Amino acid sequence: MKGTKFQLKVWKYLKKIPKGKVKTYKEVAIGIKSPKSARAVANACAKNPYAPKIPCHRVIRSDGALGGYSGRGGIKQKLRLLRSEKVVI
C-alpha cells in the first residue's frame, strides 16, 4: 500500500471494522490514538485508493450522515455497500 504514515495507520484500522458495523470519523481517530484528528481521518478516507477492499464506507459522520466516499460510484455506492452489509441507514 502507498500512502502517508498517517493514511496507512487509518487504513489499517479501517480493516478492523467488522462487516455490518460502522464507526464515526471521531471513533476512528480515538481508535488510532489521535483523538483530535477526526478531520484528518476523514481526509485519509477520502484519499483511500483501495476502496472497498479497505472499507472506508464503514465510516460515517458523528451526526449520522454518510459523509463522502472515495470509491467508484461515490456516495450512492457507499449507501449500497452499507445496505448490502445490513447496516440500517
* Share of residues in the chain with pLDDT > 70 (%): 100
Distance CA 67, CA 69 (A): 7
Contact 57, 84 (CB under 8 A): no
Which residue among the candidates 56, 59, 60, 81 is catalytic per the annotation?
56
CATH architecture of 5-84: Orthogonal Bundle (1.10)
pLDDT in tens, 55-65: 999 999 999 99
Q: What is the pLDDT of the chain when averaged over all its residues?
A: 96
CB 63 within 8 A of CB 29: no
Judge whether residue 2 has pLDDT over 90.
yes
Is 56 one of the annotated active-site residues of the chain?
yes
Q: Which residues pair with 60 in a beta bridge?
A: 24
pLDDT digits (tens, 9 = 90+) for 62-84: 999 999 998 889 999 999 999 99
Whether 16 shows a pLDDT value over 90: the answer reads yes
Domain positions in the chain: 5-84
